[in-house]
Amino acid sequence: MERHSRKDDTVPQTHETDVLIVGAGPAGLFGAYYAGFRGMSVALVDSLPEIGGQVSALYPEKAILDVAGFPVVKGRELVNALIDQAKSANPTYLLDRTANALTATDEGVVMGLDDGSEVHAKVVIVTAGIGKFTPRPLPAGDGWEDRGLVFFVPSFEEYAGKDVVIVGGGDSAFDWAHNLTGIAGSITLVHRRDQFRAHQATVDAVLAGPTDVITKAQVTALLGASTVEKVEITKDDGEVVVKPADAVVAALGFVADLSAMKEWGLEFDKRHIRVDTAMRTNLPRVFAAGDITEYEGKVRLIAVGFGEVATAVNNAAPLIFPDQGIFPGHSSEGS
């Protein structure tokens, strides 16, 4: 397994591989393993400096409940297992760099990276989540970053005994409230509506627990000297509530930046790449899998991404090895 970060390379390089996977998250890692299973060489490029995509960067301690074979698995544990599985493919990791230019022909694909390097591949599979992302700002949080305001919780232990205020009503907000229960000194969740966009089982668990859930309200001020000490919460009826806060988590989602991908000539459906049942895009030799894809009936789960990237690899196989078919046989079959 080769791992190259920006600091490893002083001059632009040219890399050659059978399959280039854009995105080193769970779907990309499983795709690397599966490409190796089919005898292909594989490289992965990711704009983040570590393997694991958004799971490693944002949710390493999150309990994941929808991966087959694991009643519950933490994000970090899942990523580590996928990395171990992918080792059999001896992948090359090109980390901390962005794929920003694509030329796709019937003969092959050339991917340009933002460090000036190029990757020459027979096939590209895009598993890049939602692309580059930036957190949505908290309107009242201007100037409070690094002073108690954060946008995600990569580690729960640092919040032990602290008063935590979480702003948002989606999966991340409720996951963090649920996972911080029993660790944080107190948890307050603030949402501007009384309806939530999170998994119902997690919502039910948080509502039944010690978290103080305040709806139809917004955080209107952060208060404190050098770091946040309190938050001001204003309800829709005008009532103002002040809560102690050692940390404020703005779990308001992320804004995807797909500008580079949209210049490649891919067909998009809003912010997702349109694919067919073989995970083919509209460009020759370019496939996509995982959260970035769109088709009728699409369900965005990690488990679905695993199946999609295996479908992409299998349908790419005849382009790499013309004497091979799409179906490789089952991995459990004897020789």
Q: Which amino acid is at 332?
A: S
| pLDDT, average across residues 93-121 | 94
DSSP helix/strand/coil, 51: coil
Q: What are phi and psi of 20, to 5 degrees?
A: -105, 125
Domain extent listing, the chain: 2-133+254-320, 137-250
Cβ contacts of 148 within 8 Å, gap of 6 or more: 222, 224, 227, 228, 245, 246, 247, 248
Q: Which amino acid is at 270?
A: K
Cβ contacts of 88 within 8 Å, gap of 6 or more: 33, 36, 37
Query: In this predicted structure, what is the pLDDT of residue 335?
Result: 45
Query: In this predicted structure, what is the pLDDT of residue 5?
Result: 62
Please write the tens of the pLDDT for every residue from 283-325.
999 999 999 999 999 999 999 999 999 999 999 999 999 998 8
Pick the CATH number of 2-133+254-320 from 3.40.50.2300, 3.30.365.10, 3.50.50.60, 3.40.50.720: 3.50.50.60
Q: Listing from the earlier edge strand, what are the strands of the sheet with 217-223? A: 217-223, 230-235, 240-244
Question: Quick one: DSSP state of residue 88?
Answer: G
- Of residues 324 and 233, more confidence is placed in 233
- Measured at the alpha carbon of residue 241, what is the angle toward residues 240 and 243, in degrees to the nearest 5? 150
Confidence of residue 77 (pLDDT cuts 50, 70, 90): very high
Please write the tens of the pLDDT for every residue from 253-286.
776 667 778 889 999 998 899 999 999 999 999 9
For residue 93, what are the β-bridge partners? Answer: 3, 44
Q: Model's pTM, two decimal places?
A: 0.77
Q: Do domains 2-133+254-320 and 137-250 have the same CATH topology?
A: yes
Q: Tell the CATH topology of 137-250.
A: FAD/NAD(P)-binding domain (3.50.50)
